[in-house]
């Protein structure tokens, strides 16, 4: 059911964005005369404000993904509440910037592992040992809960 602006030609009453069927327009709430669709704004009925597709989703980190403008406004308000006096600035991230950022992250992780003396062979051994411990634990079955009674 579409939304329309309604007006009364008798008394000038107006209603904005009313969900009505064109076939069954309501009567004026002031004078009781039949209402008409108000086309004075010069365009067909449409979504006003932030409709679907008017907002690009933004990943707000720990606050989650803002899918709508309302979600974004809520997240910004939460940030401003936690950090009064600070501003929220958004920067766009192109695919090149994202790949550079991820490459830098991978390089830093590699450097840290190398400093710690952990190479691919050591990491593979650690994974195999963890898998073996998990298999042993599964083969042993469920562990009985210790009884809390005193003797």
Domain housing 23 = 3-37
Mean pLDDT, to the nearest integer, of 88-103?
87
Which is nearest to 20 in space by CA: 35, 32, 39, 9? 35
Asked, for residue 148, whether it belongs to a domain, the answer is: no
| pLDDT tens, position by position, 54-65 | 778 888 888 888
Asked, for residue 44, whether it belongs to a domain, the answer is: no
- 81 and 114 co-located in one domain: no
0.85 exceeded by pTM: no
- 127 and 104 co-located in one domain: yes
Asked, for residue 146, whether it belongs to a domain, the answer is: no
- Count: domains in the chain: 3
Asked, for residue 75, whether it belongs to a domain, the answer is: yes
- 104 and 118 co-located in one domain: yes
Asked, for residue 126, whether it belongs to a domain, the answer is: yes
CA dist 59 and 56 (Å) reads 10
| pLDDT tens, position by position, 17-52 | 777 777 777 788 788 888 887 776 655 555 555 666
Find out whether 36 and 14 touch, Cβ atoms under 8 Å: no
- Among residues of the chain, what percentage have pLDDT more than 70? 82
The helix/strand/coil state of 138 is: helix
**Which residues, 6 or more positions from 48, have their beta carbon under 8 angstroms from its beta carbon?**
17
Is residue 149 pLDDT above 60, yes or no? no
Centroid of chain to Cα 34: 43
């Amino acid at each position: 059911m579409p939304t329309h602006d309604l007006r009364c030609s008798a008394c000038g009453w107006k209603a904005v964005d009313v969900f009505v069927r064109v076939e069954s327009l309501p009567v004026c709430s002031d004078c009781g005369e039949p209402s008409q669709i108000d086309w004075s704004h010069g365009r067909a009925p449409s979504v006003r404000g932030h409709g679907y597709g008017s907002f690009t989703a933004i990943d707000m980190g720990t606050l989650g993904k803002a899918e709508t403008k309302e979600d974004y406004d809520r997240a910004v308000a939460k940030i401003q509440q936690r950090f009064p006096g600070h501003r929220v600035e958004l920067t766009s991230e192109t695919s090149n910037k994202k790949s550079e950022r991820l490459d830098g992250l991978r390089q830093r992780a590699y450097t840290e592992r190398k400093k710690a003396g952990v190479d691919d062979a050591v990491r593979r051994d650690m994974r195999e040992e963890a898998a073996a411990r998990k298999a042993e634990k599964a083969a042993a079955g469920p562990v009985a809960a210790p009884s809390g009674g005193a003797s």
